[in-house]
Amino acid sequence: MKGYLVLESGEVYAGLWQGGENRAGEVVFNTSHSGYEEIATDPSYFTQIVVMTAPMQGNYGVEDEVWESNRLWIEGFICLEIQDTERDQAWKKRLTENKIPLLTEIDTRNLVLRLRQGGTPWGALVQASSETDARQKADALIAEKKKMDKDWVYLASRKTAETRRGDNMVGPRVAVLDFGSKENILRELQQRCSEIRIFNSRSTVQEIMDYNPDGIMLTNGPGDPADVKMAAGTIRELIGVKPIFGICMGHQVLGLALGAKTYKLKFGHRGSNHPIRDTLLNQIYMSSQNHGYAVEASSLPADAKVTHTNLNDGTVAGFYSEKNKYLGIQYHPESCPGPHEASGLFSFFIERMI
């Protein structure tokens, strides 16, 4: 069966339709060689069609224990080849059973070059009888998708508070502001804390302070930080009151709360092989990343020192204030998928900031 990826900018890519339903979303690429389950279940990929640069996907099947949430968040999955043999069709079945469109036998190298050179576009994956038919279906899907609420963080955030017991009975209590959190952020905290309580992204200062946490975690999440409602104002009132650690979207919203500016990257950083210079841990390491926006270094306040730098393009990968006890990290120190060298930042937060 023939399927198409149609970009809003006009390009059309034909491939083999492996199943799922027609869907629209932002088209992004990921350079990870493994971790397709963690990527697909990461709420940060809400509304996104993911193009994998590694040619073969689904090689090692599926394992529910590695999921980063309880559902698939992507709007589509594109790769050169998918494991589809008598031995193993598990990943293909998992996608199509959840109605996630799957397109293979597409020139992913050419497509990724387009995304790098032209930036991140909206697009749609459709099953169609012709390119003309595909364009008509895609235009309607993209137009409808764009009508959704722009506060994607709120759409991905849990709506009721949740309390989890930690593994360290003498550890601190941490309030987690859920912007679309990956499970491994919560696991890393639970290992070090006596208890964590997870709040909706639009929770008030009073709701958080009534819990009386020792520190606050701002999690990852999808979308444009400028479209996130309430959270920057809430965080602004908590700066200097409680130690704060922001990851990915949390880092960006923390920046906005400080009065800094954010901007959209041309094609974003998504993959498990992004080099970082970390002056807090005094290391250079590879990191897992998934974001489309960055914080403008020159707009940060005087007490915020840029402590982490993306060595690919020099963008701000982290900032820290010893005076007001806040830390923002643009990438994923919790990994999953990806390298674990940055996990020490969780210990830095618990042991040196709280």
Distance CA(119)–CA(29), nearest Å, equals: 11
Q: Say whether 157 counts as a known binding-site residue.
A: no
- Angular region, 314: left φ>0, alpha ψ -120 to 50, beta rest: left
Q: Say whether 45 counts as a known binding-site residue.
A: no
Tokens of 115: 């995304």
4 DSSP β-pair partners: 14, 126
Q: Active-site residue among 26, 248, 308, 336? A: 248
Q: Say whether 293 counts as a known binding-site residue.
A: yes
Q: Say whether 290 counts as a known binding-site residue.
A: yes
Residue 336 is a catalytic residue: no
Complete DSSP assignment for 238-302: HTTTS-EEEETHHHHHHHHHTT--EEEEEEEEEEEEEEEEETTTTEEEEEEEEEEEEE-GGGS-T
Q: Active-site residue among 38, 68, 195, 334? A: 334
CA distances, 26 to each of 6, 45, 134, 202 (Å):
11, 9, 17, 24
Tokens of 161: 């508070």
Q: Say whether 129 counts as a known binding-site residue.
A: no
Instruction: Classify burial at 272, counting beta carbons within 10 Å of its beta carbon; exposed 0-12, middle 13-18, buried 19 or more.
Output: buried
Q: Say whether 292 counts as a known binding-site residue.
A: yes
Q: Say whether 110 counts as a known binding-site residue.
A: no
Residue 86 is a catalytic residue: no
Residue 334 is a catalytic residue: yes
Q: Active-site residue among 183, 308, 332, 336? A: 332
At 313, which amino acid appears? D
* Contact between residue 336 and residue 38 where contact means Cβ atoms under 8 Å apart: yes
Q: Say whether 168 counts as a known binding-site residue.
A: no
**Binding region for L-glutamine:** 44, 221, 223, 249, 252, 290, 292-293
**Binding region:** 44, 221, 223, 249, 252, 290, 292-293
Point out the residues that are catalytic. Answer: 248, 332, 334
